[in-house]
Amino acid sequence: MSHPTTLAQAIDRYLTFLQAEQNKSPLTIRSYRQSLDLLLKLSQIESPLLFSKQTIRIYKTALHSFRARNGRELSIRTKNHHLTILRAFLRYLIQEEEMDVLPPDRIQRFKEEQRKVKVLFADDLALLLSSPNTNTREGKRDKAILELFFSTGMRLAELRSINRTELNFKTQEISVRGKRGKVRVVFLSDAACAALQEYLESRLDHLAPLFIAHLQQATFEMPPGEQFRISANMIYRIVKRYASQAGILSNPSPHTLRHSFATDLLRNGADLRSVQELLGHKDLSTTQIYTHVTNPQLKEVHKKFHGK
């Protein structure tokens, strides 16, 4: 096959392939674009044919030196994310464009420490969930957001994308489209149902998004009202604000509520594969990060045999 061989052009073709042939989500495309733009910036090569052990070493060194907007070094996990995307890009060039480029398995990821899982203890969780002032419409919305996070273990992007019509209060279920476009069913607790119903009853608009910003301004807008959908950044700030307001020192994020959901299930006897399905994890190994904090048998062994 004959192709233009500049790296930038090859990246553009790859992103088109991901969208047209693999139906990747806009969020995934954007993530790949940002990563491959960083590759263009740091690798200092003009053609994918120039990838070699030496140029990959230069790119890895540049990743170590690179600083994010906040001035911080990239985490090992983030560096590995960029290397994983580079490997996928090279695999595409070999399989789809039949280019003679560096085999992706020649690129070794950095060794990662086991991830630490931050979860909320029951007392802190109760404080967080009770923090919003439900005498206001904003407070009702924020209460519903917090309850929905803990009830379902949804990712932030998943929660943000829900529309009102996707709620089923009769079965207490929501169908969620997660990573890689995979659809799964998540379940609403009684507390989440109550908070959502109270919030929706306070809404004066007919817009499609479940969670919106500028509730007052939205009142007379015509559907679908996508411009009023709450931003990911705003949801993140909502969780942070109520955690601070509740005096929770561990500084939880929306993902902390996802972790808390998973650990709560496992501590109460749920099996790992069921939790994997509920979280929408592709691999069981991803779910296994929770087992070391939720193994009641280890606690019993310690209690029975230690310090006698």
8-15 contacts: CB < 8 A, separation 24 or more? 8/40, 10/48, 10/89, 10/93, 10/97, 11/36, 11/39, 11/40, 11/89, 13/97, 14/89, 14/92, 14/93
Under the banding of pLDDT at 50, 70 and 90, the label for residue 2 is: very low
What residues does each domain of the chain span?
Answer: 7-106, 122-299
Minimal CA–CA distance to 214: which of 201, 203, 222?
203
The Cα–Cα gap between 297 and 48 comes to: 52
**What is the per-residue pLDDT for 188?**
95
Residue 85 near residue 36 (C-beta atoms within 8 A):
yes
What is 122-299's CATH number, 3.40.50.300, 1.10.760.10, 1.10.443.10, 3.40.50.2300?
Answer: 1.10.443.10
**What is the per-residue pLDDT for 111?**
87
Give 13-40 pLDDT, tens digit per residue. 999 999 999 888 888 899 999 999 999 9
Under the banding of pLDDT at 50, 70 and 90, the label for residue 1 is: very low
Averaged pLDDT, 146-164? 94
- Is the pLDDT at 166 greater than 80, yes or no? yes
Minimal CA–CA distance to 48: which of 74, 21, 87?
87
The Cα–Cα gap between 164 and 231 comes to: 16
Residue 117 near residue 42 (C-beta atoms within 8 A):
no
Assigned token pair, 253: 């994020």
Give 193-226 pLDDT, tens digit per residue. 999 999 999 999 999 999 999 999 998 899 999 9
Catalytic residues: 155, 179, 255, 258, 281, 290
| Average confidence score pLDDT of the chain | 89
In 3-state terms, what secondary structure has residue 248?
coil
Give 90-112 pLDDT, tens digit per residue. 999 999 999 999 999 999 999 87
Question: Among residues of the chain, what percentage have pLDDT more than 70?
Answer: 92
**What is the per-residue pLDDT for 232?**
93
CA–CA–CA angle 298, 302, 303 (5° rounding):
115
**What is the per-residue pLDDT for 117?**
76
CA–CA–CA angle 242, 162, 243 (5° rounding):
10
Residue 218 near residue 228 (C-beta atoms within 8 A):
yes
Instruction: Output the CATH code of domain 7-106.
Output: 1.10.150
**What is the per-residue pLDDT for 299?**
62
**What is the per-residue pLDDT for 301?**
62
- Is the pLDDT at 127 greater than 70, yes or no? yes
